[in-house]
Amino acid sequence: MRPLIATLTAASLGLAAAAVTPALAQVQQNNPNAANQSMETSGQARALRQEQTTQSNTLRMDIQRNQAATPAPNTGPNAIGPTGGTGVIGR
């Protein structure tokens, strides 16, 4: 499962990097709405990064929870062996 986290994290970083380009971050002087558009783009990129972080953290917690819920094999001196018989009746 850890390669899955690495893959998801790498993909999310790639998407976040692609969302914010230097051209989008620049404010154009001849466009009166340029500042608002720039802030909107930055806000969208931040929201995307936050969502990706949340999903990555949720996935990591699920994996950790599943690993913690898996019981360790009981191999100590009080271990209970297999139950049941040999399958043969009358011996």
What is residue 69's predicted lDDT score, i.e. its pLDDT?
82
18-75 pLDDT, tens per residue? 555 555 555 566 888 888 999 999 999 999 999 999 999 999 999 999 988 877 676 6
CB crowding 10-41: b at 16 or more within 10 Å, else e:
eebeeebeebbeeeeeeeeeeeeeeeeebeee
Residue 3 has a pLDDT of 58
